[in-house]
Amino acid sequence: MTDAHPATLELGELLKQCTESRTRRSGPGGQHRNRVETAVILKHSDSGVAAEANERRSHADNRVVAIFRLRVNLALKVRTTAAPDDRPSNLWQLRTRQGRLSVNPSHTDFPALLAEALDRLSGADWDTALAAERSGITTSQLVRFLKHEPRAFTLLNDRRRELGLRPLR
């Protein structure tokens, strides 16, 4: 890829580009949750993309969840340019074996791979077969991967509809 996608940045670099705020949220978790600012809201300054986590009882746990959600949201909202002849990233190649992409949607690598898949699709005018070929995986693997994040699959179909292409199921 020609430009580093914000979802792929090292944690320290990503956090330098973000504002972080803490707040209280009501709900399960007892008095601690209702009295202490354990909820975390992160906002990426350059893109305006934000994420929040408040379901855990500790600030540290919520911060980890918010960072993961921010990376996923960045993958969904921010597009970087991929030249047609760009090779897949080292991370993508490590996660690919015999045309299959292997990653759990809750793994820390998932947002970076999602960003790369969406960038490659965007560069291929949302043609899944072409994007899959350029990524070294099968079309069905690419579609299955996107279905792990329903918003990504919806994004794919929305862009395809805008271009007059048939939506995928």
- Boundary of a domain, candidates 21, 56, 77: 77
Tell whether 60 and 113 lie within a shared domain: no
Tell whether 121 and 150 lie within a shared domain: yes
d(CA 149, CA 13): 25
Q: What are the φ and ψ backbone dihedral angles of 21, each rounded to 5 degrees? A: -130, 155
Tell whether 102 and 157 lie within a shared domain: yes
Q: What is the pTM of this model?
A: 0.90
The amino acid at residue 24 is R
Do the domain assignments include residue 1? no
**Which residue carries 């579609």 as its tokens?**
143
d(CA 88, CA 160): 23
The amino acid at residue 108 is T
The amino acid at residue 76 is L
Structural domain that includes position 121: 90-162
CATH of residue 63's domain is 3.30.160.20
Give the pLDDT of the chain (169 residues) as one tens digit per residue. Answer: 446 899 999 999 999 999 999 987 665 555 544 556 789 999 999 999 999 999 888 889 999 999 999 999 999 999 997 666 688 999 999 999 988 999 999 999 999 999 999 999 999 999 999 999 999 999 999 999 999 999 999 999 999 999 999 999 8
The pLDDT of residue 99 is 85
The pLDDT of residue 2 is 46
